[in-house]
């Protein structure tokens, strides 16, 4: 009797989620496992973001990809902004992972004080690598959404929301602190250095994606990035 009740409940919930729920959908739609509709919608919206950036993240479009009704989707997301925020958080997570992976690589030049410089360079390359590999998701990671409002006043404290966004920023903060601790950066140059570094790398990313540098080859792009990091680090480590 317990098994029969469980099966009956499962059928009822699947029916409430809409036609095709719990089945492999057709026409490129994303199949999802029963009871995991929220994550299925986020996966579908992530695919939309990859195809068309933040403008493409539409709740009804995500519902169509999954194969459920808009009504079912609205039971998991209050509206468009809610879904966009979830994809933005995922984009920030992927960015963070790319930066962490790059920083985890052994320094190619020096294991002494200059290793702190190499970490700055590595996380910059990790940042750019994500932007170039996932341009649509990268744009969503930094788009404006009604659920994500923060201020950069030099004393950022993450709350319960946007933890991945703060984590990617914290990687940069820690790398710059290590540059001071290694003796390579004068303490008087530390204030605001994270914003200078962030603006440099983010500006490069947008030039590579949408600006006049979008026509460069991969080798040319790497060369431009290396030169930019040379100048940035030289400024940070100047006497």
- pLDDT by residue, tens only, the chain of 239 residues: 444 444 444 444 444 444 444 444 444 455 555 468 999 999 999 999 999 999 999 999 999 999 999 999 999 998 889 999 999 999 999 999 999 999 887 665 556 678 999 999 999 999 999 999 999 999 999 998 766 545 444 434 444 445 666 788 999 999 999 999 999 999 999 999 999 999 999 999 999 999 999 999 999 999 999 999 999 999 999 99
User: Contact, 64 vs 72, CB < 8 A?
Assistant: no
C-alpha angle with apex 212: 211 to 215, nearest 5 degrees?
Answer: 105
pTM: 0.79
User: Contact, 193 vs 235, CB < 8 A?
Assistant: no
b/e map 213-238, b = 16+ CB within 10 Å: beeeeeeebeebbeebbeebbeebbe
- Domain architecture of the chain: domains with CATH: 21-77 (1.10.10), 88-236 (1.10.357.10)
Q: C-alpha 8: how far from its chain's center?
A: 40
């Amino acid at each position: 009797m317990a098994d029969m009740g469980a099966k009956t409940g499962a059928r009822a919930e699947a029916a409430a989620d809409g036609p095709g729920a719990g089945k492999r959908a057709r026409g490129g739609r994303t199949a999802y496992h029963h009871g995991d509709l929220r994550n299925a919608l986020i996966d579908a919206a992530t695919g939309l973001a990859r195809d068309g950036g933040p403008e493409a993240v539409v709740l009804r479009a995500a519902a169509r990809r999954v194969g459920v009704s808009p009504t079912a989707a609205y039971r998991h997301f209050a509206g468009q902004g809610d879904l966009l925020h979830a994809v933005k958080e995922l984009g920030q997570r992927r960015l963070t992972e790319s930066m962490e992976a790059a920083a985890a690589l052994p320094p190619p030049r020096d294991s002494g004080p200059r290793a702190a410089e190499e970490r700055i360079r590595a996380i910059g390359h990790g940042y750019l690598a994500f932007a170039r590999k996932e341009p649509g998701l990268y744009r969503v990671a930094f788009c404006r959404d009604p659920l994500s409002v923060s201020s950069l006043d030099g004393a950022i404290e993450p709350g319960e929301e946007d933890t991945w966004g703060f984590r990617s920023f914290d990687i940069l903060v820690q790398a710059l602190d290590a540059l001071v601790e290694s003796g390579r950066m004068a303490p008087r140059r530390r204030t605001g250095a994270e914003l200078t570094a962030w603006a440099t790398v983010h500006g490069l990313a947008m030039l590579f994606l949408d600006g006049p540098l979008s026509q460069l080859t991969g080798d040319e792009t790497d060369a431009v990035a290396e030169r930019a990091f040379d100048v940035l680090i030289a400024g940070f480590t100047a006497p």
